[in-house]
């Protein structure tokens, strides 16, 4: 049996926090020799998914690709974009998008010719490197990779159309955001409403997101085993807070700065919702640690309470998303491994799978619910 030693680094996805990585080793046992597993491709049982071949230290890539491939809205969108732009494909403008489409087809067992147990994502990795990403620098995690891939696909698809990120719109003006439909189904907008507590002036600003990065509440050592859930984390993230000493356009002539009430809401909902739980934390001694908090989630997620227009109207009609995949980080802050629980339709039936690099097997939904989510992938169903 072959033993491979893989280096893994964990690092924070929070944009505001400095990035630090420290090395450690993770030992994986027994990658099956791909030469052997490919021998008899036709024997692959229908209820198996394809694993992904080792390209080095790439479990964060594998885990993300498996999660994306479990989102039909996303892979249908990729396919439709490629179909619309077929003339560009030969010119390699859409290299990453094409590689991703093929990789997802293979790992979903939908590729017309490639039918192997394990597949090599080298082409996708090389196309990202051509875009200037350095995947060999080992400071990578699944959330970073998701952002890297989203950015690259957006660049490829919208090469000629500029997309404005972060548009300022007055409260009275229309709250709908003009959005080209060539943007990813993961693209949503956060509405950030500011209300001046001195003069009551309100303004709202929209910021694009592809993945919501949600902080955990401050660690309370006395309540270390408090059960958290995704709705609760969203509620805390999208709650009103006061921010002091901000210049107000309406009353700055009188007294300069005033206190504002700031509230984040979901301004425009994405078709595919990606949530990232910020498990990275710093000890007082300045050491990087991983929060192991249990975060509960269920198959359906109702975000109706967080929708900006619902909050304005006081009519909290439900908006439901259904779970497609869970990316889990196993191990500690400075070492570990990414695995994915994902859905797939096999012979018209929904099945759940556990995927860990080249290894895949079916999983019960109960097992999925017991995992410790690092990223959650949902698709809208209402």
Ligand X SMILES: *[C@@H]1O[C@H](CO)[C@@H](O)[C@H](O)[C@H]1NC(C)=O
CB of 24 vs Zn ion, minimal distance in Å: 51
CB of 158 vs ligand X, minimal distance in Å: 10
Q: For Zn ion, which residue of 65, 196, 234, 307 counts as binding (CB under 5 A)?
A: 196
Q: Site size for Zn ion, by CB under 5 A?
A: 7
Q: For Zn ion, which residue of 14, 73, 199, 246 counts as binding (CB under 5 A)?
A: 199
**53 in contact with ligand X (CB under 6 A):** yes
Please, what is the angle between helix 142-157 and helix 59-69, to 10°?
Answer: 60
Please, what sign has the CA dihedral across residues 373, 302, 310, 182? positive
| Residues in region 110-169 near ligand X by CB under 6 A | 110, 121
Question: What three-state secondary structure class fits 103?
Answer: helix
Please, what sign has the CA dihedral across residues 294, 52, 107, 71? positive
61 interacts with, out of ligand X, Zn ion, none, CB within 5 to 8 A per kind: ligand X
Q: For Zn ion, which residue of 120, 175, 250, 309 counts as binding (CB under 5 A)?
A: 250
Compute the distance between CA of residue 21 and CA of residue 13 in angstroms, rounded to an integer: 12
59 interacts with, out of Zn ion, ligand X, none, CB within 5 to 8 A per kind: ligand X
Contact criterion met (CB below 8 Å) for 59 and 67: no
Q: For ligand X, which residue of 19, 38, 82, 269 counts as binding (CB under 6 A)?
A: 82
**59 in contact with ligand X (CB under 6 A):** yes
Backbone angles phi, psi at 154, to 5 degrees: -60, -45
Compute the distance between CA of residue 341 and CA of residue 356 in angstroms, rounded to an integer: 9
**Per-position x/- string for 11-40, each x denoting binding to ligand X as judged by CB under 6 A, each - no binding:** --------------------x---------
CB of 176 vs ligand X, minimal distance in Å: 15
| Residues in region 162-181 near ligand X by CB under 6 A | 180-181
Q: Between 107 and 238, whose beta carbon lies closer to ligand X?
A: 107
Contact criterion met (CB below 8 Å) for 262 and 283: no
52 interacts with, out of Zn ion, ligand X, none, CB within 5 to 8 A per kind: ligand X
Q: Between 163 and 197, whose beta carbon lies closer to Zn ion?
A: 197
Q: What is the DSSP letter of 210?
A: S
**68 in contact with ligand X (CB under 6 A):** no
Compute the distance between CA of residue 357 and CA of residue 51 in angstroms, rounded to an integer: 6
Q: For ligand X, which residue of 12, 37, 50, 54 counts as binding (CB under 6 A)?
A: 54
Instruction: Give residue for tokens 């179909």.
Output: 83
Q: For ligand X, which residue of 208, 357, 371, 374 counts as binding (CB under 6 A)?
A: 357
Question: For strand 188-196 and strand 202-209, is the pairing parallel, antiparallel, or unpaired?
Answer: antiparallel
106 interacts with, out of ligand X, Zn ion, none, CB within 5 to 8 A per kind: none
CA distances from 323 to 19, 55, 232, 377 (A): 30, 29, 17, 6
Please, what sign has the CA dihedral across residues 196, 200, 201, 205? positive
Residue nearest to ligand X (CB): 54
CB of 260 vs Zn ion, minimal distance in Å: 8
**55 in contact with ligand X (CB under 6 A):** yes
Q: For Zn ion, which residue of 85, 201, 202, 290 counts as binding (CB under 5 A)?
A: 201
Q: For ligand X, which residue of 21, 105, 264, 288 counts as binding (CB under 6 A)?
A: 105
Which has the closest alpha carbon to 77: 153, 14, 18, 145? 153
For residue 170, what are the β-bridge partners?
A: 203
The 10 Å Cβ neighbour count of residue 297 is 21
Compute the distance between CA of residue 306 and CA of residue 372 in angstroms, rounded to an integer: 24
Q: Between 83 and 174, whose beta carbon lies closer to ligand X?
A: 83
Q: Between 53 and 191, whose beta carbon lies closer to ligand X?
A: 53
50-61: burial string, b at 16+ Cβ within 10 Å, e else = bbbbbeebbbbb
Backbone angles phi, psi at 138, to 5 degrees: -85, 15
Q: Between 104 and 204, whose beta carbon lies closer to ligand X?
A: 104
| Interface positions with Zn ion (CB under 5 A) | 196, 198-199, 201, 248, 250-251
| Interface positions with ligand X (CB under 6 A) | 6, 31, 52-55, 57-59, 61-62, 79, 82-83, 101, 105, 110, 121, 180-182, 357-358
């Amino acid at each position: 049996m072959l033993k491979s030693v893989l280096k893994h680094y964990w690092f924070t996805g929070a944009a505001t926090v400095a990035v630090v990585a420290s090395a450690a080793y993770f030992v994986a046992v027994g990658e099956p020799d791909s030469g052997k597993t490919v021998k008899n491709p036709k024997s692959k049982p229908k209820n198996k998914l394809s694993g992904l071949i080792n390209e080095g230290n790439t479990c964060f890539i594998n885990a993300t690709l498996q999660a994306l491939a479990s989102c039909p809205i996303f892979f249908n969108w990729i396919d439709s974009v490629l179909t619309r732009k077929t003339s560009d494909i030969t010119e390699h403008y859409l290299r990453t998008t094409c590689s991703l489409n093929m990789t997802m087809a293979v790992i979903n067992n939908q590729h017309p010719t490639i039918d192997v147990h394990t597949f090599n994502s080298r082409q996708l990795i090389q196309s990202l490197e051509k875009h200037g990403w350095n995947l060999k620098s080992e400071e990578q995690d699944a959330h970073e990779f998701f952002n890297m891939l989203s950015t690259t696909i957006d660049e490829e698809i919208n090469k000629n159309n500029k997309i404005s990120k972060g548009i300022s719109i007055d409260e009275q003006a229309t709250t709908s955001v003009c959005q080209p439909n060539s943007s990813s189904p993961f693209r949503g907008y956060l509405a950030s409403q500011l209300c001046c507590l001195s003069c009551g002036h309100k303004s709202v600003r929209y910021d694009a997101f592809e993945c919501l990065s949600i902080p955990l509440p401050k660690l309370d050592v006395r309540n270390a085993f408090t059960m958290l859930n995704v709705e609760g984390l969203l509620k805390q993230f999208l709650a009103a807070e006061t921010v002091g000493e901000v210049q107000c356009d309406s009353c700055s002539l009188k007294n300069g700065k005033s206190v504002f009430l700031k509230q984040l809401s979901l301004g425009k909902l994405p078709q595919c919702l990606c949530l990232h739980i910020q498990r990275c934390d710093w000890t007082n001694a300045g050491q990087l640690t991983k929060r192991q908090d249990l975060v509960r989630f269920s198959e359906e997620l109702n975000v109706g309470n967080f929708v900006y227009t619902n909050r304005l109207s006081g009519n909290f009609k439900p908006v439901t998303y259904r779970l497609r995949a869970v990316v889990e980080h196993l191990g500690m802050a400075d070492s570990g491994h990414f695995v994915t629980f994902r859905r797939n339709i096999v012979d018209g039936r929904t099945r759940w799978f556990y995927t860990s690099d080249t290894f895949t097997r079916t999983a019960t939904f109960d097992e999925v619910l017991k995992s410790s989510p690092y990223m959650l992938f949902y698709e809208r169903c209402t």
